[in-house]
Amino acid sequence: MNPPILAPSLLASDHAALGEGAARVAALGIPWLHLDIMDGHFVPNLSFGPETLAALRRRGSALFFDTHLMLSEPHRYVGAFAKAGADRITIHVEPAINHVATFAAIRGHGCRVGLALNPGTPAEAVEPFLAEVDLVLVMTVQPGFGGQAFREDTLPKIAQVDAWRRERGLDLRIEVDGGIDLATAALCRARGADTFVAGTSFFRAPDQAAFAARFAAL
């Protein structure tokens, strides 16, 4: 099993001080930062765009930008986010787009590729694409708003993706996002997850360093 990675979600930080939130993650020695990009169409919320990533890079952030595009037309924005500093670009399986062509475009910009699926989408929707991606993101809440309760009905889906990964000898990570804290992360880890997006639980933790250390021990 891959070693665990914690990816704090900047969406849960103070939006008037996003740079400080990212700097806090870096100061704790956490290498990844999760960036939730929402368009108000695919999900019922808006977040931020490429300029936010570019501004963080201009401030000197060297974090791995784990960029999650919750967009109806993600293929239209791959270049902009890659140019702004994304390291991985994750798109959703649900939009009716040419996913393989979009994966190729992401790789063509020098980024790693992720594929996400919502709680109501069966694991079988991503199965044909597993050899094409570096990461599968299993949403453990309906995306759109932070602070939601973890959905335990997504656990079998994590286990199924992990089974396919092991059966086929695939080198990909399984990420979970939504209601992730130490307890729910342990449930996901037991099913094969190795990458954990923590927003509210991280940024509201009284001791963020201890929180990160406990994740590293999962």
- Catalytic pick among 36, 134, 162, 194: 36
Q: Is 36 a catalytic residue?
A: yes
Backbone φ and ψ for 207, nearest 5 degrees, come out as -135, 90
144 secondary structure, DSSP code: T
Q: Is 194 a catalytic residue?
A: no
* Displacement of CA 17 from its chain's centroid (Å): 21
d(CA 185, CA 102): 30
- Catalytic pick among 66, 134, 162, 177: 177
Per the structure block, which two tokens stand in for 105? 């475009």
Q: Which of 25, 84, 15, 89 lies closest to 56 in space, CA to CA?
A: 84
Q: How far is CA 180 from CA 21, 93, 200, in A?
A: 18, 22, 9
* Displacement of CA 100 from its chain's centroid (Å): 19
**Strand, helix or coil at 201?**
helix
Q: Which of 51, 59, 50, 63 lies closest to 19 in space, CA to CA?
A: 59
Strand order across the beta sheet in which 32-38 lies: 5-8, 195-198, 173-177, 135-139, 112-117, 88-92, 64-70, 32-38
* Residues recognised as catalytic: 36, 177
